[in-house]
Amino acid sequence: MVNILIWIFLEILGNSKNPISLIEFGALFGPFVSNGDYWRFFSSIFIHIGIIHLLFNQIAILIFIRLNESIYGNLKLLIIYIFSGLFANLLSYYLTPFNISAGSSGAIFGIAGSYLAFLLYQKPKEPIEKRENLIGISIIILINLLYGITDTRIDNWAHIGGLISGFIMGLLMLKIFNYQTNLFIKMSLLIIIILTLLLNIHLRSYYLKHNISTYIFSAEIYIKTSNKEKALYELISAKEIAYKNHDQSSLNKINNLIQSINK
């Protein structure tokens, strides 16, 4: 429901297929994240690019939630969904920081991963049914990952990140949180996960802040949104890095952008 409402607002106030509208609404965009927009890791989970993207993801959510709700329950499923979405966006940010990324696909792959964890972990009460479900879910995951390779518009790294994190979360839920485990162990695991995420975000942000492309991409977005002041600020920062690196090609591009702003 949240995904649908946000998509409707995006269509009313902008265009869900317009990159600028997507960024303004909170899509994942590495240069902006490195400047402190860390909330985009969360907000981008609920933003969808076009009606087809929204419908396919909503159908997938319904299917995988129905499969998992009797296993984990609503609260644990929500935790898996959000955590997988965040981790999916983290991997996307780390490996493809200059792409504009949005959608709940990473979180959906996380729910699929948690179901895969259940099928691998559960005792084989019905071995044949378990094997059929395991083969079925594996084929669905494989087809979607292969399709993601063939279509450059699809953020396959987010899918992989969601699948891995969902699988891990599923194992943790099944093996730890269903039993009387020491609170210290639970909190330690949670702290380790959070610190690992924060460390990776910090390292990638540090790299991007020293990457000339970060400022050029940001400036181009600001130019398109008619924010000349911020665009010039980004280009001045880019120019300083270009001078230090003796990057004449980038300097020429930066100067052309500055000229276009001053016209």
Model confidence over 8-53: pLDDT tens digits?
A: 888 888 788 888 888 988 999 999 998 889 999 999 999 988 888 8
Buried b (16+ CB within 10 A) or exposed e, 161-199: bbbbbbbbbbbbbbeeeeeeeeeeeeeeeeeebeeebee
Domain residue ranges of the chain, discontinuous segments joined by +: 2-209, 212-262
| pLDDT tens string 137-184 | 777 777 777 766 766 667 888 888 899 999 988 888 886 655 555 667
The residues that are catalytic are 105, 159
Q: What is the pLDDT of residue 7?
A: 86
Burial string for 91-118 (b: 16+ CB within 10 Å, else e) reads bbbbbbbebbbbbbbbbbbbbbbbbbbb
Over the range 227-249, which residues count as b (16 or more CB within 10 Å of their CB) and which as e?
A: eeeebbebbebbbebbeeeebee
Architecture of domain 2-209: Up-down Bundle (1.20)
Q: DSSP E strands: which ranges in the chain?
A: 28-29, 100-101
Structure confidence at residue 125 (pLDDT): 59
Instruction: Tell whether the model's pLDDT for residue 57 goes beyond 60.
Output: yes
Confidence at residue 124, expressed as pLDDT on a 0 to 100 scale: 53
Token pair for 81: 């969904």
Three-state secondary structure of 223-250: HHCCCHHHHHHHHHHHHHHHHHHCCHHH
